[in-house]
Amino acid sequence: MEGGESSVQIIKNAPSVLKADIWTHYGFYELKGKSELDKSHAVCKVCHTKIKYLGGNTTNLRNHLSRFHCEKLTPATKKTAEPAQRRIDEALSTFPPNSEKAKKITQSVAAFIAKDLRPYSVVENTGFRHLLKTLEPRYKLPSRSHFTENVIPALYNGTKAQVMSSMIQAKRVAITCDAWTSVVTESYLTVTAHYISQDWQFLSHVLQTRAVYESHTGAHVAELLGVSQSRVRLLGSTSLPSILLQKRVKNTSCHSENEVWNTLASVQVCVI
């Protein structure tokens, strides 16, 4: 009997003093045996669901409408409606490895390693892992081997393609050859390309850095450049930009200088 009575209860419109637009979709039941409204619960006019109503606070009402009857929302209601809370299991779950969010974070970690010259082992450091866990608890940091074998090589190949695409459009490319010594007295030779882009920006790209185990003579520099030439893509077409080679290697004889120039005589653009 009681169930039958409740099934035919009529939803009364909210009093005129409740002017919020949300009340278009809600009302109240009357108190049993009385002509007064039961304002402890608002009643959805669409699905007849009773929702706890705390005087003046319509957050629950807006969330219900947004979650179950979004087609009823007016632009004003949509603007003020709050998103429904996520379930606990959703909040505590991890991103799938192939999700866009996870991929973006992984790429950012790879850029951090490359740009700041960090060792691959940084992804195993307790402090670094704690930082990522704090920033995004749902992200699972890939293993060190994943960065070594997949992420960093992919970043290298993508950067290489961008550099090659940019250099191929330059009218002139200058190559500088720098010999330098590290803080632990190890010698290196760095080959850098410089050019003006089509939008008139001065760009420089390090093409290669090689260890030098002999003295920095022109002959050895020429030999190293020859080895480097075998590991880079050489574009020798006459339609491609020409190269100006600038030496920054001291103590080279005239004969050795010629060897350096001859090594790159036929080269017009080189990219690793």
User: 123-144 pLDDT, tens per residue?
Assistant: 999 999 999 999 998 999 999 9
Share of the chain above pLDDT 90, in %: 23
- pLDDT value of position 150: 95
Structure letter (DSSP) for residue 217: -
Average pLDDT over residues 223-250: 49
Q: Are 64 and 26 in contact (CB under 8 A)?
A: no
- pLDDT confidence tier of residue 55, bands split at 50, 70 and 90: confident
User: 70-98 pLDDT, tens per residue?
Assistant: 776 665 555 444 455 555 555 557 888 78
Structure letter (DSSP) for residue 166: H
More confident site: 180 or 125: 125
Q: Give the list of residues 6+ apart from residue 130 with CB closer than 8 angstroms, or none.
A: none
pTM over the 0.75 mark: no
Report the alpha-carbon distance of residue 161 to residue 7 in Å, rounded. 69
Q: Where are the beta strands (DSSP E) in 9-115?
A: 12-13, 26-28, 41-44, 50-52
Q: Domain segments of the chain: what residues?
A: 2-80, 96-163, 168-271
Report the alpha-carbon distance of residue 235 to residue 56 in Å, rounded. 74
- pLDDT confidence tier of residue 145, bands split at 50, 70 and 90: very high
Query: Would the pLDDT of 238 be above 70?
Result: no
Cα-based torsion angle of the residue sequence 238, 240, 244, 248 in order, rounded to the nearest 10 degrees: -120
More confident site: 266 or 178: 178
What is 88-112 written as a DSSP string? HHHHHPPPPTTSHHHHHHHHHHHHH
Least reliable range by pLDDT among 115-119, 125-129, 215-219, 237-241: 237-241
Average pLDDT over residues 196-213: 88
Report the alpha-carbon distance of residue 12 to residue 23 in Å, rounded. 11
- pLDDT confidence tier of residue 165, bands split at 50, 70 and 90: confident
